[in-house]
Structure 1
Amino acid sequence: MSDTTQAEKHGFQTEVKQLLNLMIHSLYSNKEIFLRELVSNASDAADKLRFKALENNALLESDPDLHVRISVNKDANTITISDNGVGMTRDEVMSNLGTIAKSGTKEFFSQLSGDQSKDSKLIGQFGVGFYSSFIVADAVTVRTRAAGVDVAQGVEWKSAGDGEFTIADIEKQSRGTDIILHLQDEAKEFLDEWKLRQIVTTYSDHLNIPVQMWKEATEESEGPDGEKIEAQPGEWETINSGQALWTRDKSDISDEEYKEFYKTVAHDFDEPLLWSHNKVEGKNEYTSLLYIPKRAPFDLWNRDSQKGIKLYVQRVFIMDDAEQFMPTYLRFVKGLVDSNDLPLNVSREILQDNRITRSMRSASTKKVLSMLSKLAKNDAEKYAEFWDNFGGVLKEGPAEDQGNAEKIASLLRFASTHEDSAEQRVSLDDYLSRMQEGQDKIYYIVADSYEAARNNPALEIFRKKGIEVLLMSDRIDEWLMSHLNEYQEKSFQSVTRGDLDLGDMDNEDAKKAHEESEKAFATTVERFQKALGDNVKSVRVTHRLTDSPACIVTDENDMSTQMAKLMEAAGQQVPETKYIFEVNPEHALVQRIADETDDARFGDWADILLQQATLAERGSLKDPGSYVRKLNEMMLTLTNK
């Protein structure tokens, strides 16, 4: 091969520079994973060509036997990982080797601490791929040619990991990609072929593409019993078993093998939290191997990032991110499905509306939910770890998957007035077990933060009566509760919406006292209504408050405060909500205002009470400056008396 153009120099994307620096300085204790990553990428390239060749056999050219090859040159101090897979065009080289296309990079780098041991774990969450080359190499050369293009359209990429790379057009006779690692002095241990074989056996034995190393020729020799052993020519020797792990019997696969396979399929340093290996026979025949990671990837909340699991058909790789087999709210699940029933030339369009796909998706979804249910039941500490990483995503479930809403609801966890900590989480089953006699609703509140929820005045009557309330403060919680209507035949009730009806938990004496209070305070309620006018929907005596003078609540048929905020954050226009203003006639401040004979001063006090209640509910005011001025004026008036 020879260069046909002058090499062009380019700078790496900023994030690549940061990642390369981490590769060089943070992963000294995990150096061998470079081979796992590069062999995995090479295997994927071979898989992709095999799939493309189903429609265009000419892409195989004159080399139909797909493989990955590892060779060592001790004199040149290099390791070469070669494949005869799909290869890359010049544009693909620029895109794949000059930038990090994976979303979430900003969040990833913002969490790096400078602590090498901690940062190396973060890199594992982010994924390393090709850039792991620089863990052991101080320079890397990539030579590649896409399948089906002319030999003159090869591309050579070079970099020393110092912020720049060069790219040039070359002639390359064979399709596929060669990655040549120029090893650092401290990485010469990887020139040992026995060590490389051991690493491949540990990490890549399951790959169904042959991974080969050169076996030197042998001379004629004599055996222990004097028999003649013939000389053997040198040859490429397959060093992995080549049997796809998921096709083996579960009883023959160790936990360590499952864990190492996960690291390959998910490009994760960490072990999985749990997994499930299932072979389904009958109407539809397929195998699934599904993993739940320990930690969330950095692009978990990016709706445009690749999602889904790998799809194989009769052990032939079809696609990487087959989202049709897993609902969006389970997008953290890694693994694969291998179908015996789908056609080899299946496309995304066919998968979208396919009876077999729907059946496999339903079964896979139920399997994951069952895995999580068992984990929650048998290992609360481990489930809490899962919830901290993926709970927010799971909350999308009831809106997306009404058929499994009850099952998903059983997996949800919330803060609660039963626990005095935002970290303590309770399940809905926990809540039901503590419900009071006569209680027929599950009470909850949604606010901007745990503190805002816990200190909301609307909780006062519930605390007085010892009724537990779920405290919700995630951005998605209001959306969740708009789709979660009931659990175990108990309906949900927001404590800041509509009329408060405690049902059988209010005795007759309490109900009678409420009625008498409403009658006695009716005139003052009318004065509040007149003073506040169109600023409120209505004014009424509260039954929620014991210690606060007033609160605002949303009418049952109006949009809640948190839903309005959610829609505003999404850039949607939201109609203005007028709140119901509830006053506590037992509070000394309300009684003092009720005695005010000057209507103007009464109106100012009424407005101050409304603004205070709005601040407690919404966390902000439209015109805080006006509120502060009015409050100061009224305070000065009281001081001068």
Structure 2
Amino acid sequence: ESLQDNTVFRKMQKVITKKVLDHLDTVSTEDKERYTKFYQEFGAILREGVASDFDNRERVARLMRFASTRTGVDGEQVSLPEYVERMAEGQEQIYFLTGTDPKAILRDPNLEVFTKRNLEVLLLVDPVDEYMLGQLRSFDEKDIVSVDSAELKLPENAQQEEGSDDTEQKGDADQAADGPGFERLLELFSEALGERVREVRRSERLTSSACCLVNAEGTMSTTMQRVLRMNTPDFEMGKMILEVNPQSDFIRRLSAICVNPQNADFIRTCGLQLHSNAMITAGLAPDPNEMAARVQDFMLQLAGSRSAIATE
């Protein structure tokens, strides 16, 4: 300890750290294959520098590598400078998504709008990566934001996938959302869910799924909260926001039948089930007994609408 407090030792430490980072920076640029092998072996140690070495935080961040939607979970990993260099016009944030299953992470409904608009998202399969990005907060003056965060900002103009009808669909969604049926739908969902959610609102990030759960501003991603809950029994997850997609065929149908007050209870029940579905998709566990009873009731209603008489 007395040695570490020595001024000469601290100067040596800074010089050695600088030389090591200079060397790694050179290797990562000139010999990517060699650096990839190094990062696979020692990346977990290297990235700790983001949290432990404030003076070199930015330099260490440049050396971190991530999978992304551009290269795939098993494809070539990308650096933050590479990501920033190919960001879409008007994009103000660096997007990431955390998940424990490398394959399932690509099926997350929060990715739908990014796929539709050809926006790259970093894929973090190790929660430690999210912790390090949380310590970093921003890179190259770009905020680092989870795709399931309420703080998400999408660029107004981004390249669409080839063959995309996004503009037309957005117009249809606006028309559906402007109607009284959709607003009433949100009210009924909110009544049914009560204190289970922070808010029920229209989604700007979904293109096909009916609903998804997002985290309120200032909270960690769902995956990080889930990890903390497993390791800290007293940890309470924050209330999430249920976003509803007016483009979904199912939501359009529910919005249409909202005009009949007799359908209110049915729509509330649908809201409860959609919330449970969104929890499962997010890796959370809804009440199994409540959900099973609700699904059985739905099946009973469907069975009751079918005839026992065979017709050709």
Partners of 2:185 and 2:254 within 8 A in 1: no
2:78 corresponds in structure 1 to 426
Q: Map 1:55-454 onto structure 2 (within 5 A).
A: 349-454=1-106
1:515 CA displacement: 6.0
1:639 CA displacement: 3.2
Distance 1:567 1:524 in 2: 34
Letter in 2 for 1:369: L
Distance 2:287 2:156 in 1: 42
Distance 2:23 2:139 in 1: 20
Distance 1:621 1:358 in 2: 49
Compared CA separation, residues 434 and 550, structure 1 to 2 (3 A): same
Compared CA separation, residues 381 and 551, structure 1 to 2 (3 A): same
Distance 1:418 1:376 in 2: 20
Partners of 1:478 and 1:562 within 8 A in 2: no
1:615 corresponds in structure 2 to 280
Partners of 2:97 and 2:123 within 8 A in 1: yes
1:383 CA displacement: 0.9
Distance 1:429 1:366 in 2: 19
Secondary structure at the counterpart of residue 574 of structure 1: coil
Compared CA separation, residues 633 and 424, structure 1 to 2 (3 A): farther
Secondary structure at the counterpart of residue 201 of structure 2: strand
Letter in 1 for 2:293: R
With structure 1 as the length reference, what TM-score do the two structures score?
A: 0.43
2:221 corresponds in structure 1 to 560
Q: Deviations over 1:356-407 (max 9, x none)?
A: 2221122222222122111111111111111111222222221111211111
1:524 CA displacement: 1.4
Partners of 1:551 and 1:581 within 8 A in 2: yes
1:598 partnered with 2:250: no
1:626 CA displacement: 3.0
1:528 corresponds in structure 2 to 189
1:533 CA displacement: 0.8
Compared CA separation, residues 576 and 362, structure 1 to 2 (3 A): same
Distance 1:591 1:580 in 2: 20
Compared CA separation, residues 385 and 398, structure 1 to 2 (3 A): same
Letter in 2 for 1:621: A
Distance 1:572 1:640 in 2: 44
Secondary structure at the counterpart of residue 28 of structure 2: helix
Compared CA separation, residues 528 and 503, structure 1 to 2 (3 A): same
Distance 2:300 2:31 in 1: 60
Secondary structure at the counterpart of residue 352 of structure 1: coil
Compared CA separation, residues 572 and 532, structure 1 to 2 (3 A): closer
1:633 corresponds in structure 2 to 297
Distance 1:350 1:572 in 2: 39
> Any stretches of 5+ residues in structure 1 without a counterpart?
1-348
**Percent of paired sites with the same residue:** 34
1:498 partnered with 2:150: yes
Decide which structure has the larger Cα Rg and report it: 1
Letter in 2 for 1:519: D
Q: Deviations over 1:444-466 (max 9, x none)?
A: 11122222321110111111111
> Any stretches of 5+ residues in structure 2 without a counterpart?
160-166, 306-312
Partners of 1:500 and 1:544 within 8 A in 2: no
1:574 partnered with 2:239: no
Q: Deviations over 1:303-352 (max 9, x none)?
A: xxxxxxxxxxxxxxxxxxxxxxxxxxxxxxxxxxxxxxxxxxxxxx2123
Q: Which moved more, 1:394-403 or 1:538-547?
A: 394-403
Partners of 2:276 and 2:291 within 8 A in 1: yes
With structure 2 as the length reference, what TM-score do the two structures score?
A: 0.85
1:481 partnered with 2:146: no
2:200 corresponds in structure 1 to 539
1:90 corresponds in structure 2 to none
Distance 1:506 1:591 in 2: 26
Q: Deviations over 1:505-526 (max 9, x none)?
A: 279x798877655432222111
Q: CA RMSD in A?
A: 2.3
Q: Deviations over 1:148-205 (max 9, x none)?
A: xxxxxxxxxxxxxxxxxxxxxxxxxxxxxxxxxxxxxxxxxxxxxxxxxxxxxxxxxx
Letter in 2 for 1:633: D
Compared CA separation, residues 367 and 469, structure 1 to 2 (3 A): same
Distance 1:477 1:361 in 2: 25
2:162 corresponds in structure 1 to none
Letter in 2 for 1:603: R
Secondary structure at the counterpart of residue 208 of structure 2: coil
Larger RCO (CA under 8 A, 6+ residues apart): 2
Letter in 1 for 2:203: T
Secondary structure at the counterpart of residue 492 of structure 1: strand
Distance 2:226 2:52 in 1: 21
Secondary structure at the counterpart of residue 599 of structure 1: helix
Distance 1:553 1:384 in 2: 33
Secondary structure at the counterpart of residue 353 of structure 1: coil
Partners of 2:173 and 2:246 within 8 A in 1: no
Distance 1:548 1:387 in 2: 36
1:550 corresponds in structure 2 to 211
1:580 CA displacement: 0.2
Compared CA separation, residues 621 and 440, structure 1 to 2 (3 A): same
Secondary structure at the counterpart of residue 94 of structure 2: strand
More helix by share: 2
Distance 1:572 1:355 in 2: 43
Distance 2:220 2:16 in 1: 36
Partners of 1:497 and 1:554 within 8 A in 2: yes
Compared CA separation, residues 573 and 505, structure 1 to 2 (3 A): farther
Partners of 1:398 and 1:408 within 8 A in 2: yes
Distance 1:395 1:496 in 2: 23
1:460 partnered with 2:112: yes
